[in-house]
Every structure is written in structure tokens, then in C-alpha cells.
Amino acid sequence: MVLIDYKEAPEGLQVVPLWISGSAQTITSPSTLFPVTSSIKDTAIHHAVSCDPPTATLAVDAAATAFKTWRLTAPTHRRSLLLKAADILERRAEQIMAAQVAETSCPRPFAQFNVESGVTYIREIAAATSELRGTVPQRATGPDGKELGGLTVVVREPIGVVLVIPPWNGAVVLPVRAISMALAAGCTIVIKASELCPQTHHLIVSCFEEAGIPAGVLNIIQVRREDAAPVVEAIVSHKAIRKVDFIGSAAVGSKIGQVCAKYLKPILMELGGKGPALVLEDADLAKAASLCAIGATLDHGQLCFSTERIIVHKSVYDEFIPHLTAAMSQIPSAGNSVTKQSAVHAYEVLADAQEKGAKFLVGGLEHLSPTSLKPTLVANISPDARIRDEETFGPSASVYVVQSDEEAITLANDSAYGLNAAVHSKSWEHAYTVGSQLEYGQVHINAMTPTASPGGPMRGVKGSGWGQSNSIWGIHEFSVEKSLYFHPSAGSVAMIPGGH
């Protein structure tokens, strides 16, 4: 049961509790509650308990206690539990999809994609536990060239208690991925759920616990946005916390990164993007146009992988633009923003572009509803326009024309971000030559920028973060290599000059 009844809750709505060591924490006062609001209905759909620093510390304490035994479990055991969790998530898909739609106002097909992808990610990460292995390095040699005695064994161990801060926009697939990677490595977790979709995140945790993950291994809290900073710092500063996994905006990531640096805690970050799609002179123009339009508008453009910039070779520009405008015009609505403020931001970025000389090829400064903007294409972008390198998080993309591949590469790389990019070409050699020069963690050939592969590494570069997710790469992020040196019981001992 995720939602609980609380007689003093405003409007008689149910409440998302704080979940620590396998049980809901007692609600002490209505003042600890905050509303979770549907942007479409413009009304509270339930409330959630806002955590304070002392309670956050209790969550870390619970995870630290559970780590003592969870870290000793075999990878095969953890794999079995992860596979059970995937089955449960799949079985409870309707319930979890309904929660995501209600809390984030995303389209139902996007919620379905989130659950189905989440199941796939859990199963891939579970399979990758078989790759958790150590090594036996070659032994050192002495001055005479002969091997020294003894044995060195390098083993992988879980890093410890992890703080996971997932976003609201991939409300199922992204927390599921983060939780699965840390659990597979043998870590225990404190999750700071998004204040915009706490029920969805709690439902995910309940799937793992139903699968048999012991109490205390997964703990989940949430906090109202204005109170989040001291709660996050209380968790990061706790001596048991050994790593943080954050997915969100670059602005918030910078703040959390500074807190982690203050306490010397490593952090895995996947931040924003300004994804370019490069349409080369030998591209399939109709296909590229369709993929660009869809990539720009999925979930109202509220994806860090969104197609934000469409860079077109001059030789095909005049032929490509009718395909692109037609494809964009065939998308009457891109859904809704998660909050009214998010829609306002997307609108203001477009307004700024227009004030600085931009022209709308499709759409424009038009609301379909208070939380939905018309899908929009913008051209003639000024170098000082906000849209040049600021995420719109709305259903829009800017269009640029270039004279050569070299200019396309330069423009694509002229960004603070480096998450996902796409290259459209009928020649894989041509696409590879261009794609290999792009400063992005993922480059997709003849596909949308919002594309990912559960079996391959996923990372951001530059201002899009650092560290890798997915499969064994993600599991390794939450484990450390330890060297065990078995020195010979007799004979000479090699001394290292300058050693301690």
C-alpha cells in the first residue's frame, strides 16, 4: 500500500508517506504535508509527507544497517530478486502507468513506454550481474627478472550506501535503472523521490520489496522543493553515504555536485541536453524529418534527450524543410507540461527568440491549453537568443542551415551540453565520419535523439554530466576494486622506494 489515510490531511486526500526500513513513518503534523498537483486538473490529487533532516538521517541509518548483510549476498541471489521485480513491475503496469499519468500529466503511451522500458532495463542489469568478477594480475618481478612470490587478487565490492535522486520526466525507467544498478552491485539505497511524482516512485520501490528485497535495503523519502537543500545535505554528509546518483537539470546538478565535493562524495550525474540532429546531404529526407519532429515533441519536449536543434546541409535544405514542416504539422498536440511554470518557461524561450529576430516555420507563441504549447519550429536564430543553448523543455526545435559537414560538426559541438545527438545519412561511412567528431556521449545514426540501448553504456559529457549507466557499466559505478596482496611467508620482501 503506497497511499495511506490520514484524518487530518487537507481535503480528505490520501498521503504518500516516508518509507524507511520497510514501513511508513508516523505523521506527526499536517504541517509536514504538501500537495501533489495535476497540472491538467490544476488541483491536488493527493498529499505527501515532506522529510526533514533528522528523518533523512534515519533513512541513511536504516540503509547502513541493511548494508551489513545485503553486501554479503551473492550476485546470483541479487539477480534472482531483480528478475522477480521486473515481473512484478510488468504485472502492475496499469497501476504504475496510472500514477505517472496522474502526477506528471504525460500521455498514456509515454507512461507505457516508461514501464516497458523499465522492465527491460531491470532484466538487462540483472543479466549483467554475471559479469561481476575480479582479476588476478601478474606478479611483480625482482631485480633479477624473476617473479616475486605471493599472489595478488583484485575483487569487486559494493561501494556502500547510495543516495538516488531520480527525475519526474522519466518517472519509471530512470529510477528503475538507478535502483537496479545499485542493488545489483550490492549497495543499499536512500531514494529522494521527486516531489512532483512521489507516488509513482513509491510504487516502484514497492515492486522491489514485493520481489523480496529486504527491509532497509530500499528507503524512500520526498521533500517539498523549498526544503530540499538541507535534507540533501544531511544525507550527503552522513558518513555512511558513499555515492550519489542524480538525474536532472544542470542547474540543480551543479548545486548537488558542490555539496558532494564539500564532503568528498563521488556522484554519477546525467544532466540536461541540447540534442542536435544533423541532416547530411545524402540523408533520407522524409525519414529524417519524421524522426526529428517526433524527437522534438515526445512528452511535450520534456526529455533531456529531446531533439532541440536540427542542423541541415544547405544542398538539401530547400527540399528538406517542406518534409519537416509537414511532419511537425501532423502533430496537433505534444501533450502537457508537468507544471504550468514549465509551460511558461518554454513559451518565454520562444518569445525571446522571436524578439531577437527568429521566425516560426510551424507553430509559434500559441498555447493549446495552459499546460500545452503548439509544436513549433524556429529558424533564423540569433547568437544571443536563449534558445541557442538553453533547454526549452517544450515541444519545439530550432533549425539551422550549414554549408558543409565541418560547419555542421562545429555548430553541433558549440554547446555546453553533450548528451545525445543524431546523424542522418544513407552512407554509414559518412555518418560514422561525422558522428565520431561529435562531442556527445551517444550518437544515433538514422534514429531520434531520444533513443537509448539498455545493453550499452549511457553517459553525458561536458555539461551533461559524468559517469556511466546501464548494464555492467552502471553496476561498476556502484562497486569498487580492492586489491588483496598475499605476500610470501618466507624469502625476501620487495620494498618500494618512497613507500610508507
Integer CA distances (angstroms), 148 to 18, 484, 487, in order: 56, 16, 9
Of the residues 304, 308, 391, 477, only one is catalytic, namely: 304
Angle at 117 (CA atoms; ends 303, 413), nearest 5 degrees: 35
Query: 317 and 283 in contact (C-beta within 8 Å)?
Result: no
Angle at 61 (CA atoms; ends 60, 63), nearest 5 degrees: 65
Please tell me the distance from the alpha carbon of residue 265 to that of residue 257, in angstroms, as a whole number: 9
Q: Any catalytic annotation for residue 304?
A: yes
Helix axes 314-329, 285-297, angle to 10 degrees: 50
Say how far residue 478 (Cα) sits from the centre of its chain: 16
Of the residues 270, 281, 391, 477, only one is catalytic, namely: 270
Q: So which residues are the catalytic ones?
A: 270, 304
